[in-house]
Structure formats: structure tokens, C-alpha cells
Amino acid sequence: MSAEVARLDLWARRRALLGYCAGMGLYTLVIVALYPQFKDSTSLDNITKNAPTLSALFGAIGSLTSPSGWLDANIYENFFPLVVLLLSIGYGASAIAGANQEGTLCLVATLPTARSRILVAKVGAMLAQGVALSLTVAVVIAAGRGFQLHLPLIHVGESSTAVFLLGADFGLLTLAIGAATGNRGVALAVGSGTAAASYLVSSLAPVVAWIRPARFASLFYWAVGNDQLTRGVTWAEMVVLVLIGVIASVLAVLAFERLDLG
């Protein structure tokens, strides 16, 4: 029965999800298709050499002309996480707090289904959206081998999974804040504020010495900020990303079970 809760939310967001997937897929295709024109450009690499801090702010570190450097600078370290975060934080804020403020949550919450199951269904809906988007990006990049973009597919798969988990973590954190406060605005602010801070810490850590020790506190560092596309994602990084998601989910369930609905 709780699967119906997930199905309802996915149905309500089907157009937005299609739009996100189509837009991200198209953008990825353009980036992939442009690679042959830039792969031998030394001037591009000079940007990161001459202005490393500025480049780091935009998620560009090291060579921009290697396959992994090109994809990191244009997709994995900025645009892809940003779109995944928009999707997951947006849903995280609306799934409980937004629906409660809108007044539709009481229709769902008065079904003979435990609140914990309702919340798990919403977590499922969030993960399904993230999977759809991440899979779209991974598939388009895999197809990019035809554009001289050669890098191990396993690394593409792992990095796409890491970005998916990154989005899920912040989405679940937002869901938990929404379930604790019942306030969509607060959930959005905390979720997106934490994600922005996390991005800055991970991006600037390689070039700003005093930020460097804080990189372990940034989920971006564990997902995409440590050259994962080149070397693959380690088990330790996966465990951190999964663990944070599990903790956020448990907190969300506990908060939702105490939330007054109206």
C-alpha cells in the first residue's frame, strides 16, 4: 500500500523529472560531443594553472583536456551535482513539509499505513528520481566513446553513483529537516545552504590551505572532489555516502513520527 504513496509522488513530478533528465541528457551530450575540439587545447589547461583558485571555485582542478578532467570540470564537479541537488532537495522539502503546508499530507497520513512506511515510500520516490537522472548522464557519457572520450566505464558508473548518493544525502537531510519542522522554507534553506557550503569547502580545499582540513566534512569531497572519475570511487567513500543517507533517513522517520499534521 505504501508503494502507492511513492507512485503518487512520482506521478505528480513526472513532467519535472522528464524535463530534468532531458535537459541534463542534452547538456551532457553537448559536452561529450565538444570534447574532440578541446582535447588538444593547451590554453585551456593554462586557465587552471594560472588561476587555480578561481578555477577551483567552478570545480575545475588540474588538466581540463584529459577525458576525466574535461568531464569533471564540465559535469561531475558542478553541473551534474547541482541538478541532482535541485531535484532531491526540492523533493525533500516538498515531500513532507511542503505537502503538510499545502494540506494534502493529511489525506495520505490518514490511510491505514504507518508513518514510517509513508516516509520510506517517499525516500524510495526520491531515490528513484535520482537514479533516473544519474543513469541518463552515465548512459550519455558511455555513448561518448564515439567522441574520443575514452575513460573506464566502471569509473563513470561509480562516479555517477556517487553523485546520485550525494544528491540523496542532501535530499534526505532536507526531508529530515522538513519532517522535524513541518516548514518547507526552513527545510529548503538548511538543505541548500548545507550543500552550498559543502561544495565550497570541497572545491577550495585543494587551493586554500586553511580550508583543506575541513574537506573531510564535505560530502562533495567524498563523492566527486577527490579525483574519483580518474581513479574510481573507493569502498570507504561509498560507505560514507551511504551511511550519511541512512542516518538522515532514520532521523527523518523519527521526526515524522512526532510531527503534528494539519
Partner 1 sequence: MTPAIETVGLTKTYGKNRGIVDLSLVVQPGEVFGFLGPNGAGKTTTIRALAGLQRPAGGVAKVLGYDCWAQAVEVHRHIGYLPGELRLFEAMTGTQHLSWFIRARGIDEPAGLADLLRRFEVVLDRPVGQLSTGNRQKLGIVLALMHEPQVLILDEPTSGLDPLMQEVFHRLVREAVEQGRTVFLSSHELDEVQRLADRVAIIREGRLVVTDTVEHLRSGAPRIIEVTLKRRVASRALAGLDGVRVIRSEGRRCTVELTGPIGPFLRVVAELDPVDLTARRADLDELFLGYYQEGQPARVG
Q: Which residues bind partner 1 (CB under 8 A)?
A: 1, 4-5, 8, 12, 102-104, 106-115, 258, 260-262
Residues 6+ apart with CB under 8 A from 43: none
* Smallest distance from partner 1 to CB 256, Å: 12
* Smallest distance from partner 1 to CB 99, Å: 9
CA atoms of 53 and 40, how far apart (whole Å): 23
* Smallest distance from partner 1 to CB 135, Å: 26
Nearest CB to partner 1, comparing residues 103 and 193: 103
Residues 6+ apart with CB under 8 A from 254: none
* Smallest distance from partner 1 to CB 133, Å: 22
Nearest CB to partner 1, comparing residues 54 and 111: 111
Torsion of CA 105, 177, 171, 115, to 10 degrees: -40
Residue 37 · residue 49 · CB < 8 Å:
no
Nearest CB to partner 1, comparing residues 101 and 234: 101
* Smallest distance from partner 1 to CB 7, Å: 8
* Cell 571555485 sits on residue: 57
Nearest CB to partner 1, comparing residues 112 and 146: 112
Residue 140 · residue 31 · CB < 8 Å:
no
Nearest CB to partner 1, comparing residues 116 and 234: 116
CA atoms of 5 and 116, how far apart (whole Å): 12
